[in-house]
């Protein structure tokens, strides 16, 4: 089953510094692997044998991330910029997937900050999709995923082609070592531009600024632990939660 | 007058979606995908019109993305709102693609400025509110809390019009079973004391157990403590892909407060953070906090609780 694993397609919110006036400084943050990218790669591997798995990344991140994790070939759309409109980001990824051609499954991390991207991608491709799955596998020419829904696990089967977004149930266990990083350098990366894939769509959304959220910050007790503990217990008793 | 549409796949946050849509000053139309009871409940929660698609028992709600998109795009609305559940999001994605609309997640409120939609969204894991302006039509994934349905509408809900869906995708629910740990005490506990990587060794869990016992609570933990370290059972891991809990009191001990952890405690009433790093994100999500070494703070708390 020809499967595309989409990785490093957004900036990591943790790379952004929020100043006291609520403005945001991304410094030189590049597209990075999100916290769900590794889980998405694991799911993609469960769907496709090695030879049918293709990595796809957009922007200025290091494209070798997937290659160091066993993916044999990757495509990078190098001039894609971070966009406020999740549909515009998805349009770039969709164009790259169409250009790869003959894809049966797309697996992508279900980032909370950019939670519109995987679903807009499915919409633009016109493919069935399940979001927020925790695992996936190929089963009789279809894809079977498991998703947590409330207190239940739901097992869902989809016809292909399909888009699956994955939420990580655990962090990456073993970061690639020097051997894997060196092997990754020998694997091919097909570098493309937005013009190459006809994906120069505009960002339909403009940011007018950021501010700090309203609401009081936590009431912090510090100093002597015994004193802080007494104040906290008193406050929790006043709240009626103890 | 064109409508503002809301997409409904579960009972919450229908009233908030309807109220946010109404702020744009137009007729609010809902499309409900699910059982009839959901459509009836949605009709009482604020929209002016309800179109209902019966999802049946075995089809995933996502299978109805194309008919929902066809219905809404045919009306050419300026704005569409959907909840943040995975099912609603998939429908929203298809609607945005069909309408060639922008798609914005994390939206808390919408307003009109001349003919443009202006949105406030929660960004960077809740650290900022970002104001965005869309030039064209927009599909907003709503991330605010639900609100009580407007009382004047109670008892006189919108009419529900069934729609027989065509172009349903092949997405089948094979089985639904209780998740591992769904019966763990933590999911029902009124008080949960969770521990993170601030704990130096497994043996030290005893002080966390003592604290949990003193406040009549269950033990929980952050993902690394259950997954990497294996110090606490996995069904007690609190977070996005772990347990989502809603205790009246949540005490996070030595937990930094990664976004995926905070997602699991959104329903908690009072959150207490205990961490030696005053900049730890847990304090941003806490009502109360103690900045200090957990090895000093927890024993001090045990003493204070005894008095």
Structural domains in chain A? 3-192 (3.40.50.620)
Residue B154, pLDDT above cutoff 60: no
Q: Which of A156, A208, A213 sits opposite B174 (nearest CB)?
A: A156
Task: Select the more confidently predicted residue: B224 or B91.
Answer: B91
pLDDT value of position B182:
62
What confidence tier does B247 reach under pLDDT thresholds 50, 70, 90? very high
Cβ distance of B90 and A129 shorter than 8 Å: yes
The mean predicted confidence, pLDDT, of chain A is: 93
Sign of CA dihedral B144, B145, B150, B153: positive
Q: What is the pLDDT of residue A216?
A: 61
pLDDT value for B183 = 63
Contact A59, A162 (CB under 8 A): no
pLDDT score, position B26: 80
Q: Which residues of B touch A154 (CB under 8 A)?
A: 173, 175-176
Percent of chain B with pLDDT over 70: 96
Most A CBs within 10 A among B86, B131, B247, hence the mutation to make, goes to: B86
B positions 61-120 inside 8 Å of A (CB)? 62-63, 65-66, 69, 84, 86-87, 89-90, 92-98, 101-106, 118
Structure confidence at residue B150 as a pLDDT band (50, 70, 90): low
* Residue A203: predicted pLDDT: 85
**pLDDT at residue A72, as a whole number:** 95
Residue B168 neighbours by CB distance under 10 Å:
17
State the Cα–Cα distance between residues B64 and B40, nearest whole angstrom. Answer: 19
pLDDT at B267: 84
How does residue A14 score in pLDDT terms, banded at 50, 70 and 90? Answer: confident
Tell me the C-alpha distance between B179 and A67, whole Å: 34
User: pLDDT class for A149, splitting at 50, 70, 90?
Assistant: confident
CA distances from B56 to A152, B43, B69, B171, B297 (A): 18, 19, 19, 12, 53
Which domains, ranges and CATH numbers included, belong to chain B? 3-162 (3.40.50.620), 185-306 (3.40.50.1220)
Residue B1 has pLDDT above 60, yes or no: no
pLDDT tens-digit readout, B270-306: 999 999 999 898 998 899 999 999 999 999 999 999 8
- Alpha-carbon distance of B294 to B226, in angstroms, equals 19
The pLDDT tens digits of the residues spanning B187-212 come to: 889 999 999 999 999 999 999 999 99
* CA dist A125 → A87, A90, B95 (Å): 12, 10, 12
Mean pLDDT of chain B: 92
Q: How large a percentage of chain A has pLDDT more than 70?
A: 99
Helix or strand (DSSP H, E) at B130: strand B128-134
Verify cis geometry, omega within 30 degrees of 0, for the bond prior to A164: no
Q: Which of A17, A83, A120, A172 best probes binding to B when mutated, by most B CB atoms within 10 angstroms?
A: A120
SS3 A8: coil
Instruction: Note whether A225 contacts B292, CB cutoff 8 Å.
Output: yes
Average pLDDT over residues A87-107: 97
pLDDT tens digits for B86-143?
Answer: 999 999 999 999 999 999 999 999 999 988 999 999 999 888 999 999 989 999 999 9
Residue B156 has pLDDT above 80, yes or no: no
List the beta bridge partners of residue B72.
Answer: none
Cα separation of B80 and B73, whole Å? 10
Confidence at A215, pLDDT banded by 50, 70, 90: low
């Amino acid at each position: 089953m020809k499967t595309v694993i989409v990785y490093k397609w957004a900036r990591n919110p943790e790379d952004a510094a929020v100043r006291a006036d609520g403005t945001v400084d991304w410094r030189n943050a590049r597209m990075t692997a999100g916290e769900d990218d590794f889980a998405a790669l694991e799911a993609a591997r469960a769907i496709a044998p090695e030879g049918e798995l293709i990595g796809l990344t957009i922007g200025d991140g290091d494209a070798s991330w997937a290659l160091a994790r066993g993916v044999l070939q990757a495509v990078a759309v190098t001039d894609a910029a971070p966009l406020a409109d999740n549909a515009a980001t998805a349009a770039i990824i969709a164009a790259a997937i169409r250009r790869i051609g003959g894809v049966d499954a797309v697996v992508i991390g279900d980032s909370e900050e950019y939670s519109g991207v995987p679903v807009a991608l499915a919409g633009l491709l016109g493919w069935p999709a399940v979001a927020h799955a925790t695992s996936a596998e190929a089963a009789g020419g279809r894809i079977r995923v498991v998703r947590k829904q409330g207190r239940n696990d739901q097992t869902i089967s989809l016809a292909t082609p399909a888009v699956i977004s994955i939420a990580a149930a655990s962090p990456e266990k073993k970061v690639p070592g020097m051997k894997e990083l060196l092997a990754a350098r020998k694997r091919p990366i097909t570098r493309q531009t937005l013009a190459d894939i006809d994906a120069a769509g505009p960002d339909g959304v403009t940011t007018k600024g950021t501010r700090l959220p309203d609401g009081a910050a936590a009431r912090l007790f510090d100093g002597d632990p015994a004193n802080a503990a007494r104040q906290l217990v008193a406050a929790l008793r006043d709240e009626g939660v103890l | 007058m064109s409508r503002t549409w809301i997409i409904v796949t579960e009972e919450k946050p229908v009233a908030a979606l309807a109220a946010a849509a109404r702020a744009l000053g137009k007729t609010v139309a809902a499309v409900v995908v699910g059982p009839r009871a959901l459509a009836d409940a949605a009709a009482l929660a604020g929209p002016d019109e309800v179109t209902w698609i019966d999802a049946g028992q075995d089809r995933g709600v996502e299978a109805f993305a194309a008919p929902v998109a066809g219905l809404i795009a045919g009306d050419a609305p300026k704005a569409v709102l959907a909840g943040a559940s995975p099912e609603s999001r998939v429908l929203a994605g298809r609607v945005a693609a069909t309408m060639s609309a922008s798609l914005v997640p994390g939206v808390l409120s919408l307003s009109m400025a001349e003919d443009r939609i202006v949105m406030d969204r929660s960004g960077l894991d809740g650290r900022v509110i970002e104001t965005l302006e869309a030039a064209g039509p927009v599909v907003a994934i709503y991330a605010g809390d639900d609100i009580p349905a407007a009382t004047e509408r109670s008892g006189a809900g919108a009419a529900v019009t069934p729609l027989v869906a065509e172009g349903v995708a092949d997405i089948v629910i094979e089985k639904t079973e209780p998740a591992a740990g769904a019966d763990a005490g933590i999911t029902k506990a009124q008080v949960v004391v969770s521990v993170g990587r601030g704990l130096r060794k497994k043996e030290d869990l005893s002080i966390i157990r003592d604290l949990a016992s003193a406040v009549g609570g269950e033990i929980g933990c952050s993902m690394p403590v259950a997954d990497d370290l294996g110090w606490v059972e996995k069904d007690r891991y609190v977070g996005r892909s772990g347990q989502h809990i809603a205790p009246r009191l949540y005490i996070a001990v030595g937990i930094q407060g990664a976004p995926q952890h905070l997602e699991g405690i959104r329903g908690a009433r009072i959150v207490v953070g205990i961490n030696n790093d005053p900049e730890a994100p847990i304090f941003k999500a806490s009502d109360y906090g103690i900045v200090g070494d957990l090895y000093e703070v927890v024993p001090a708390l045990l003493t204070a609780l005894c008095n």
